[in-house]
Amino acid sequence: SREELGQEFKAVYVVSRDLAALTERDEVRRLLIRSARQLVPLEAAAVVMEDEAETRYVVEEAHGWAREFEGREVAITERTWAAWVLRSGEDPCLLDNVAGHQDRMPILVLDEASSRAESLLAVPLKASTRTLGALMLMGRRGAFDAAASRVLGVLANQAAAALSTIQMKDRIKDLAMRDGLTGLYNRRAFDDELRRAFGREDRQHGRLALVLLDIDHFKKLNDTFGHPAGDAVLRHTARVVEQHLRRGDQAARFGGEEFAIILPGTGEGGAVRLAERVREAVEKAQLVFEGARLSVTVSLGAAVWPDDGKDQEALLTAADRALYAAKQAGRNRAALASGLPPAASSFAPTI
């Protein structure tokens, strides 16, 4: 009725006001699902978000039976209703008989059991000309109608605007945390990320590895070929490091020709494998600068929390000792803090 519709849009106004005050993307997604649950009878719901490259989507927030798929990634080209909505970017899609539709597809992920939902309402999250994601609502036959589609479409637009604003602010903040030459995180961002990583692993009783990397004979290279060549070597090394990171790993320019890599949930074996892969890749990579072939190698030191250091400062010291040992042993190699003798009081600094 007109009265019910008015009440629904009044509720949307309240939610829109709340959305405008949020500063985190996960807060927006949670409020979106909570509001949808209050507006329509749901059995399950999910917010899927498209990545920046527009090649995949992630089930970021879910309710009901969809919770088992939180965190799952799906290629945007796959045959799912979520992928279809993201590709089409059209108005809300309402299906009151999912199983009977001529295009029989799973809703969220490929290995989703069939007939999980009778009715589907999929609402794109559109900001300007780009589809950021979609709100996927699942229920029994007749759970959704055209009025619900209109109201949730308005709500989704408000959520998309809030997400777009937060993304823009996050990009600006991210730029301030980046090293201008290499694009890696700067020292300040590294310190913040290491502190957060310590907190996460401590809560989960996990492990954490830290790898320090130093470009061998960098001063000599600068003196021989000039600072522009040195800059090229720094950018080249940063790219090689990035190519070997796993999801969740973080690399930073630690200072000068030194880099740092944070490896959450990683023990000694994982740290050694990554250090060796990076070392070999840098050595084998061909870097030509203004017609000159530059030979670049790196030395690396790895330490693991909590075995090699109980806090940030102790872990950094342990990794730095391992790096110094690698350089003293001839450079172009990796060393583990656990393989070193106990620290002497007059420990020499990294050179």
The residues assigned a catalytic role are 257
| Structure tokens that stand for 279 in this block | 């070392």
Tokens encoding 9? 């849009």
Closest to 235 in 3D by CA, of 190, 197, 289: 289
The closest of 294, 283, 274, 261 to 184, measured between CA atoms, is 261
Residue 338 gets which letter from DSSP? G
Q: How many CA atoms lie within 13 A of 185 on its CB side?
A: 17
Q: What is the DSSP string of 121-147?
A: EEEEEEETTEEEEEEEEEESTTS--HH
The answer to whether the CB of 124 falls within 8 A of the CB of 131 is: yes
Pairing type for strands 250-255 and 208-215 reads unpaired
Residues near 148 by beta carbon (within 8 Å), at least 6 away in sequence: 39, 40, 121
Q: What is the C-alpha separation between 320 and 322, in angstroms, rounded?
A: 5
CA 30 – CA 17 distance, rounded (Å): 15
Nearest in space to 123 (alpha carbons), one of 142, 104, 101, 148:
148
| Residue 221, phi then psi, degrees to nearest 5 | -65, -45
Helices (H), 21-80: 25-39
d(CA 328, CA 330) in angstroms, rounded, equals 5
Q: How many helices (H) and strands (E) does the chain have?
A: 9, 13
For residues 35 and 154, is the Cβ–Cβ distance under 8 A? Answer: no
Residue with tokens 């990579």: 285
